[in-house]
Structure 1
């Protein structure tokens, strides 16, 4: 991981930056301060996790089988916060075992668990 930090590949940095921008543009559930933090986390994780996400992409879609780190950086930076929030909500739901209604905020997608719940008008 330390070698990944010292290998400055500007195409990976650009792909990570554009993936973070795509996430922030489509994210509706954050205020301005949280968007800045989410952008920084998404950008840095896209740069650091490019190799891991590229390995996952190559294992899920064997027809692609590429060695371009830019694809991994873009996908990682665009999806890392969405995946983390989904995992967090699953863990919270498994630990609490409560029948409360929880809204999961994705990139412009809201999923309700309970069908009898009427949503509030204030968003996420």
Structure 2
């Protein structure tokens, strides 16, 4: 089993290294290509969360306890919405989209972006 863990860790590390190298080499990509990459990543994360988290949770509990899974998913959606509201949106710096006004102060937005 330790061999499988080491092989998986090495594969993930190499994939991360290659992705980072590509990101460093390509300085400017088109808006369309950026949307394609973001859509692909969002689809992969959605599939991973459903297949690896939600489906096993459904199998582990009885139908009466599904409210726990629904509450967990709803809490996750609420957290993402809250984070989208409080974190800075600096699209205007990239020139891709105009800035959507958030009621937070600019200095707090920069700190949150750094974090």
Same fold (TM over 0.5): no
Tell me the TM-score range normalised by the shorter chain: under 0.3
Larger RCO, structures 1/2 (Cα 8 Å, 6+ apart)? 1
Question: TM-score, structure 2 length as denominator?
Answer: 0.27
Question: TM-score, structure 1 length as denominator?
Answer: 0.26
